[in-house]
Structure formats: C-alpha cells, structure tokens
C-alpha cells in the first residue's frame, strides 16, 4: 500500500453498516510527452473507503461538491459491485477535512492583513453604552 494525500471534490457519499464510501473526483492536468503527443486533461474518480466510526462525522460535515483533502492508503486494485477485483484504485481513508483553494485563501489573508494595518489599537468608548438612556 502507498500513503497518499489527495485533493478533490466529493461526488457522493454512501453510508453502510460496516463502512462509508466517498466518491472523490480529482482533476489530472494535461501534459505533453517527450515524443510530442499530448495527453488531455481528465477527471479521475476514486472510491475512498472509511471505517464505520467515521459515518457520523462524514455525513454531518460533508456533502456533494465540497472540496476536501483526504489522507489514506491506496490499494493497487478496485473492487467491483459483486466483490470481484477490477482495474482501478481504491483508497482506505484515514482522515478527511475541508480544503480551500490556495490562491483564494492567500488573497483573503493578504486582504485581512492589509485592512488591519494602520489602525490604532485602543480601548472602546463605553461612556455612551453605560448611560441610562441607552
């Protein structure tokens, strides 16, 4: 098994008695091979299997379309509907948390820092707040 850290969008969540299955869509960027052929961009769908104790956490905090970060172990095979082994990958999930787009979060943090610069820090004026006619 290989340790992986994946970022992607939740396609769907299915809870069973013994496990929770999360379908994760991950974008793989296109690239050019050395021989000059182009490989186009594609969306890969992974099945991530979590233990049953994660059911309440996942069902209450995540929904389809949420951008998440998943850490787990990748198996070199996938199980089909009948339990047979088919081509593909399955991830045994360990942790799942919300992720944010790095560019967006850095813009927000820079904006907050810029807005907070140049302001004096002082005590609030409570004279009007403590008056009887307030």
The reported pLDDT for the residue numbered 121 is 46
pLDDT band at 122; cut points 50, 70, 90: very low
Q: 96 and 24 in contact (C-beta within 8 Å)?
A: no
Nearest to 95 by CA among 75, 71, 74, 73: 71
Q: What is the pLDDT of residues 32-87, one digit of tens each?
A: 888 888 877 888 888 888 888 888 888 888 888 888 999 988 877 776 667 677 66
Residues 11, 15: Cα–Cα separation, whole Å: 14
pLDDT computed for residue 124 by the predictor: 47
What domains appear along the chain, each with residue ranges and CATH number? 2-116 (2.40.50.140)
């Amino acid at each position: 098994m290989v340790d992986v850290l994946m970022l992607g969008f939740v396609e769907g969540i299915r809870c069973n008695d013994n496990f929770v299955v999360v379908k994760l869509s991950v974008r793989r960027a296109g690239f050019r091979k050395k021989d000059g052929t182009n490989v186009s961009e594609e969306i890969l769908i992974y099945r991530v299997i979590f233990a049953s104790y994660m059911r309440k956490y996942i069902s209450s905090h995540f929904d389809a379309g949420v951008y998440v970060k998943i850490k787990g172990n990748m198996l070199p095979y996938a199980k089909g509907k009948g339990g047979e082994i088919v081509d593909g990958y399955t991830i045994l999930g360990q942790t799942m948390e919300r992720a944010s787009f790095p560019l967006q979060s850095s813009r927000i943090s820079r904006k907050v820092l810029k807005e907070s610069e140049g302001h004096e820090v002082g005590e609030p004026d409570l004279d009007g707040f403590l008056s009887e006619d307030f």
